[in-house]
Structure 1
Amino acid sequence: MKKFYAALLTACTSLGTLSAQAPEEEKGYIKEMCGCYEVEFKYAETFSDATDYQLHDPYSSKGLEWIFVDEEDSTHLVLQHLLIVAGGERVIKHWRQDWFYENLVMLQYQKNLEWKKTEITAKEAKGTWTQKVYQVDDSPRYEGYATWIDVDGKLYWESQVAAPLPRREFTKRDDYNVMLRNNKHKITKTGHVHELDNAKVIRTAEGDSILVWEKGMNSYFKVEDSRCEAAQIWWEANKTYWRDVRMVWDNILSEQDYINLEYMVDDQKLWQRLFDLGDEMMAKKKYRSEKAQKEVRAIIESYLSANPSPWVSAETEAEKAY
């Protein structure tokens, strides 16, 4: 089963790429983001062209995060993030970032949990890395591509993408429905920095307008790996299930050119259903991968919709009903 899984993963991730081998040096840049980190998240709205707009209060939070390479092949790396909370007593599966070298296929965010598959040319993809970012339940979030820049002592990767509202505002605001993110990942002597210049966009059938601009700074300060031991133990106990979730999502995304997710089904969010199923499956005496994948797929498919998203914030409307 393990050999089959590895072969299938390699086959799936090799599709839609231009090169058979990524530069090892650039793979090393991405791996520099791995380790145990004290993380500080800071966001502040900066200015708006709307004369009647009131800037929201700045946002900040801190945490301890374990980042590691969970899968790797010649053109692809999977970096999984695990968040450690409650003084190290609790571990939460956090977001995930996949990196593809000279990737040709993109899943572009549209609005309100709706994505469409597009392609870029071989010329556009030449020498680039695509970062594909996923939610805590491994559903899609956003994708962007660019080259790694190493010049004058500065090492970074930067691209601009449309994305859903961030979790800190996902259910709290309905005055915009798309985040236009300028993502810049910089490798530093103390770890790395995720710098953002965001535009909060009102997207309608007539086009886009910017409500307000925002500056973000996610700073990762490397600490001893031993401080993230709880996360390492948790992943060892739960990785089989979450790798199955990832495989199911990979299959669904390879089959579909259009993804539209319902925010809630039967009063539950997708991440709640998948997290609960994971706890249930891993508590059994014998874990059955085939059964888990079947149940995971059934849950995910119950959230998929073929109908176009409305031109309002579907997530906020759902929250208002409760």
Structure 2
Amino acid sequence: MNIKHSLALAATFALTACATTPPPITKADAAPAPQRDTTAFNRDRTAILAMAGDYRVDFDFRETVALAANYKLHEPHHSGATEWVNVIEDRGDFISLQHILVMGDDDDRHVIKHWRQDWQYEPAQIVSFRGEEQWERVDIAAEDRTGAWSQIVYHVDDSPRYGGTGRWTHDGAVATWTSAPTWRPLPRREYTTRSDYQVLDVINRHIVTPAGWVHEQDNTKRILAADGSITPLAKELGVNTYTRITDHDFTAGRDYWQRTAPFWREVRAAWDARLWRGPASLAMFETVDDDLLYERMFALANARSFDAAQVRADVDRELRRFERAP
């Protein structure tokens, strides 16, 4: 399969998708921390790590309620994939899970780096989407982060998508994390086909079960008007079901990650510098000279040789091309 086809598939399958360096220490972090409930902490960690594995995924999105006059609900969106979720970093209170799509059969196997989810225990800050391809680093109050985990989701090129905080609850073999309301960009399934709303206002829920896990989304599609007003358009429910499987060969995905992991590590580091150590606000262009950032990053990742210094220079150059003033 050629690169054009793979990139098109990435745009089709990319979902809704914290940096590997933690945020800088603030004065609030310097205060003595309360005694950690190690039992609850370890149960939370076990639930997050349980999301790693080999899965068949079912994506199901259905608009349920029209919130604007004369709005007609769109047809449901349903698709599927086979996906490997890999733990790429585990520092105890920080866990990073990289999703890799491995599609097709033995005669036509293709691999696409998918979204990434980073989990931070009791985060001092998160990266929050603000609309119009803008993100902001936001402080989390001490009372809101005690016992909580942040989840920050990244797109296929490791650019940010959204971040939120919530707490895990445990009921027998089932663990559930529910976020506070979180803004996120339009999903790729609608990004190229709709312009009647600008942001999803979402409550995310991750439910880990013995069979796998489910990502539930309670979505409100909102219109961001030029005058600053925010208007609800429609309600939508999303249910992404990850079912563990043993009948699909993910070797190509593991091989891809082994070959390209050093490149993507440099990409994450470049984003870290901008998101956690740069100005509090970040804004990006969607396209530059008809280029898309994920296309440029995929092309660089597929280079057959790796030189760390050259990769840093290439990645920094591309990110600078797409950066704009907030």
User: What is the TM-score normalised by the length of structure 2?
Assistant: 0.85
Q: State whether residues 165 and 179 of structure 1, in contact with CA within 8 Å, keep that contact through their aligned partners in structure 2.
A: yes
Tell me how far apart the structure 2 counterparts of residues 297 and 46 of structure 1 sit (CA, whole Å): 43
Q: State whether residues 68 and 232 of structure 2, in contact with CA within 8 Å, keep that contact through their aligned partners in structure 1.
A: no
Aligned to 1:222: 244
Q: State whether residues 64 and 85 of structure 1, in contact with CA within 8 Å, keep that contact through their aligned partners in structure 2.
A: yes
Q: State whether residues 174 and 210 of structure 2, in contact with CA within 8 Å, keep that contact through their aligned partners in structure 1.
A: no
Aligned to 2:291: 268
**2:113 aligned residue (93, 104, 125):** 93
Aligned to 1:213: 235
Query: Which stretch has the larger CA shift, 174-183 or 225-234?
Result: 225-234
Tell me how far apart the structure 1 counterparts of residues 238 and 264 of structure 2 sit (CA, whole Å): 29
Q: 1:24: how far off? A: 2.5
Where has structure 1 moved over 3 Å in runs of 4 or more?
14-22, 151-154
Q: 1:277: how far off? A: 1.4
- The amino acid that maps onto 1:198 is N
Q: 1:16: how far off? A: 4.8
Q: State whether residues 138 and 249 of structure 1, in contact with CA within 8 Å, keep that contact through their aligned partners in structure 2.
A: yes
Distance 1:114 1:14, change over 3 A: closer
Aligned to 1:258: 281
- The amino acid that maps onto 1:74 is G
- The amino acid that maps onto 1:189 is P
> In percent, how many aligned pairs have the same letter?
34
Tell me how far apart the structure 2 counterparts of residues 50 and 249 of structure 1 sit (CA, whole Å): 37
**Matched residues, number:** 294
Q: Which runs of 5+ in 1 are unaligned?
A: 1-8, 309-322
Q: Secondary structure at the match of 1:231?
A: helix
Tell me how far apart the structure 2 counterparts of residues 30 and 103 of structure 1 sit (CA, whole Å): 16
Tell me how far apart the structure 1 counterparts of residues 23 and 137 of structure 2 sit (CA, whole Å): 17
Tell me how far apart the structure 2 counterparts of residues 27 and 202 of structure 1 sit (CA, whole Å): 37
**2:308 aligned residue (289, 292, 298):** 289
Aligned to 1:244: 266
- The amino acid that maps onto 2:288 is V
Q: 1:112: how far off? A: 1.7
Aligned to 1:5: none
Q: Secondary structure at the match of 2:202?
A: strand
Q: Which runs of 5+ in 2 are unaligned?
A: 1-18
Aligned to 2:253: 231
Q: Secondary structure at the match of 1:28?
A: helix
Distance 1:225 1:36, change over 3 A: farther
- The amino acid that maps onto 2:198 is N
Q: State whether residues 36 and 227 of structure 1, in contact with CA within 8 Å, keep that contact through their aligned partners in structure 2.
A: no
Q: Secondary structure at the match of 2:272?
A: helix
Tell me how far apart the structure 2 counterparts of residues 120 and 14 of structure 1 sit (CA, whole Å): 12
Q: State whether residues 181 and 196 of structure 1, in contact with CA within 8 Å, keep that contact through their aligned partners in structure 2.
A: yes
**2:68 aligned residue (47, 50, 66):** 50
1:252-310 per-position Cα deviation (integer Å, ceiling 9, x unaligned): 21212111110101110110111111112xx13xx21121012101101111101x4xx
Aligned to 1:202: 223
State the superposition RMSD in angstroms: 2.0
Aligned to 1:299: 318
Tell me how far apart the structure 1 counterparts of residues 91 and 22 of structure 2 sit (CA, whole Å): 8
Structure 1 residue 103 corresponds to structure 2 residue 123? yes
Distance 1:180 1:128, change over 3 A: same
User: What is the TM-score normalised by the length of structure 1?
Assistant: 0.86
1:101-149 per-position Cα deviation (integer Å, ceiling 9, x unaligned): 0001122111121111211111111000000000000000000001101
Q: State whether residues 80 and 96 of structure 1, in contact with CA within 8 Å, keep that contact through their aligned partners in structure 2.
A: yes
Q: 1:15: how far off? A: 3.5
Distance 1:152 1:51, change over 3 A: farther
Aligned to 2:182: 161
1:130-188 per-position Cα deviation (integer Å, ceiling 9, x unaligned): 00000000000000001101136642001121000000001111100001111100011
Q: Secondary structure at the match of 2:22?
A: helix
**1:83 aligned residue (80, 87, 101):** 101
Q: Secondary structure at the match of 1:227?
A: coil
